[in-house]
Structure 1
Amino acid sequence: MRLGPPDPNHLTAEQKRVHDIIASGPRGRVRGPLAIWLHRPELAEAAQALGAYCRYGSSLDPKLSELAILCMACVWQAEFEWWAHKPIALKAGLAPEIVEALKAGERPSFADREEAVVHDVVFALSRERRIPDELYAKGTDVLGAERLVDLVGLCGYYTLISMTLNAFDVSLPDGETYELTTR
């Protein structure tokens, strides 16, 4: 890890305030990129608010949100993100074979149209930097405009997450296995 979280015994008053906001929310703790952002508590506070919306307040159901998050982890090869969200995705009902296909770098075979659209939108945005017209039409048809907006917002937030994880080389907890890359 290039930059660890600030020492919990030496947080500034602002760092402590933001730490406590994050820890008392639905996440229940401060780790990964949120801990890194505490070096700039203003960033941590703003980003965690966006993240709380993307994870817990969006119009996407948890299974679709977690699928999108795992897709973003694959795009960015963000191991911590994958490690943190894989069990959440499985618990939310994402099929294990979808998770395994993503891990292998393959496009899963989807029985669910919503899952297929979420996957395709995430990868189109990440690779092509836009949503092609045909996919956009399919996305608005299958997800509707509101959920498509939330999906794009989630992609933006998890780009920030992934960049932070990769820039500061955030490691997995001791004893955990890297699944997307070899280290």
Structure 2
Amino acid sequence: MVAEEAGRVKAASPCPAAMLVSGGAAAARRRATMARVKPIVNREDVAPEHHALFDKLAALRGRISGPSTIVLHSPGLARPWNEVSEYLHRESLVEAPQAELAVCATAREKDCGYIWNAHVPLARKAGVGATTIDAVRDRRSVDGLPSAERAVILYVRQLLQNNRVESDVFDELLKAHNPAWLVELTSWIGRYQALAGILNAFEVTPNAPAEVLPAAPRAASGKARPPLPAPRVTQISRRDQVPEPHREIFDAVTEGRGSVRGPFGMLLHSPPYCRRHLDVSTYLRFKSQVKLESKELTIIATAREKDCPYVWAAHAPAARKAQVSDAAVIAVRDRADLTSLPAAERDVIDYVRQLARTNQVAQPVFDRMRAQHGVTGLVELTCLTGHYGIVSAILNAFEVAPAPDAERLDP
């Protein structure tokens, strides 16, 4: 099942990085500290009009746990958000060994003890060997591992460390599978990166006893290279490219956009997954409590951290139209100092940066963001940066570039 399966909702203090050091009494005390917001674990924690949703989610795995205890602060988002996980775990084309290995490798890259503890047992059950799991945990070389496992780990590491996947790794997985499979593998990685963001930002960790991720040196990452001149697989842009039973999903994509473009040209290789992704996107675009200015600033800050020229080209103009200051757009683009920006813009950018770069958010920044946006708004903003992490992963891995005359985002 999903990351929600590992223990009761507890939190490290002052940050989830406590889960990365050696165990002992101090770590045990840290794990006993509650999460940064009240986790929703009981039916009475939500308004009566949301009891049916609570009951449905609780019935899936016997209780509400993990990321769901946070995302349920936004009941409207929780329904489509959860359906993505249910699809991946029940219907995905990616076989359990590769899926669980990708999740574990993502948990390691994002320093997320909760996901690690939830999914290492599932990876072992799926047949992933101890040598492979140890190599992921300790960030060791993958030389000598079975080729299929080696390729999945390299795919995760390259995508999350460098925001690109090199052609030999991409081509090996594509040759062994097909575009739909690889779209879904990329979505597994993006999805668990997003879940790790929620768990890390709100400091949700597994209950003791739990395996503690050891401190392990992280490979240095250089500048992301520009996108390749052409996408790596055919982009779907016409209705007749989609199998007849799934053409209504093509229609749903074009209904709000006029045409298929950007990530949807790749996501439609897996129409059932695409529909669920679209439902989350629709909520975040049109129903979220996050104000438009903060929403667009979050998106461009995510695009910058993910070195995603397509998302930048699509949303930098939208950010200016939403009254994000030119100074903020430039500071995001250039990775510049934020001191001179208005507090509201500075905190949104800093929140995204900290979560992307350090896998945690400093308490003062979290507190100011909570005061500014409220718990529901901050949950939705955290899911928004996670969602655009998924979008960026698809665009970056499949090398979808913006139009030549679009606003540039240099590495």
Question: Fold-level match, TM-score > 0.5?
Answer: yes
Identity of aligned residues (%): 27
Q: Which residue of 2 aligns with 1:151?
A: 381
**What is the distance in 1 between the residues matched to 2:407 and 2:373?**
34
Note the 1:126-137 alignment, pairs <5 A: 126-137=356-367
**What is the distance in 2 between the residues matched to 1:116 and 1:59?**
19
Task: Give the aligned length.
Answer: 179
Q: Which residue of 2 aligns with 1:36?
A: 266
Q: Are the aligned partners of 2:289 and 2:377 in contact in 1 as well (CA < 8 Å)?
A: yes
**What is the distance in 2 between the residues matched to 1:36 and 1:154?**
20
Q: Are the aligned partners of 1:117 and 1:139 in contact in 2 as well (CA < 8 Å)?
A: yes
Q: CA deviation at 1:172?
A: 1.3
Q: CA deviation at 1:22?
A: 1.4
- Could you say if the C-alpha distance between residues 147 and 79 of structure 1 is closer, same or farther in structure 2, counting changes exceeding 3 Å? same
Q: Are the aligned partners of 2:370 and 2:378 in contact in 1 as well (CA < 8 Å)?
A: yes
Q: Are the aligned partners of 1:74 and 1:180 in contact in 2 as well (CA < 8 Å)?
A: no
Give the partner amino acid of 1:69: I
Larger mean CA deviation between 138-147 and 69-78 belongs to 138-147
Q: Which has the larger radius of gyration?
A: 2
Q: 2:330 aligns with which of 100, 110, 114?
A: 100
Where does the alignment leave 5 or more consecutive residues of structure 1 unmatched? none
Q: Are the aligned partners of 1:15 and 1:38 in contact in 2 as well (CA < 8 Å)?
A: no
Q: Are the aligned partners of 2:302 and 2:389 in contact in 1 as well (CA < 8 Å)?
A: yes
- Could you say if the C-alpha distance between residues 133 and 34 of structure 1 is closer, same or farther in structure 2, counting changes exceeding 3 Å? same
**What is the distance in 2 between the residues matched to 1:87 and 1:13?**
36
Give the partner amino acid of 2:317: P
Give the partner amino acid of 1:12: P
Q: CA deviation at 1:15?
A: 3.9
Q: CA deviation at 1:34?
A: 1.4
Q: Are the aligned partners of 2:308 and 2:409 in contact in 1 as well (CA < 8 Å)?
A: no
Q: Are the aligned partners of 2:309 and 2:408 in contact in 1 as well (CA < 8 Å)?
A: yes
Q: Deviation per CA, 1:45-94, whole angstroms, max 9, x where unpaired?
A: 11111111112211111111000000000000000000000111111111
**What is the distance in 1 between the residues matched to 2:255 and 2:368?**
39
Q: Are the aligned partners of 1:14 and 1:41 in contact in 2 as well (CA < 8 Å)?
A: no
Q: CA deviation at 1:29?
A: 2.8
TM-score where L is the length of structure 2: 0.42
Q: Deviation per CA, 1:109-160, whole angstroms, max 9, x where unpaired?
A: 322x322221111111111112222222222122211111111110110110
| Larger relative contact order (CA 8 Å, sep ≥ 6) | 1
Q: Are the aligned partners of 1:74 and 1:102 in contact in 2 as well (CA < 8 Å)?
A: yes
Runs of 4+ in 1 over 6 A off after TM superposition: none
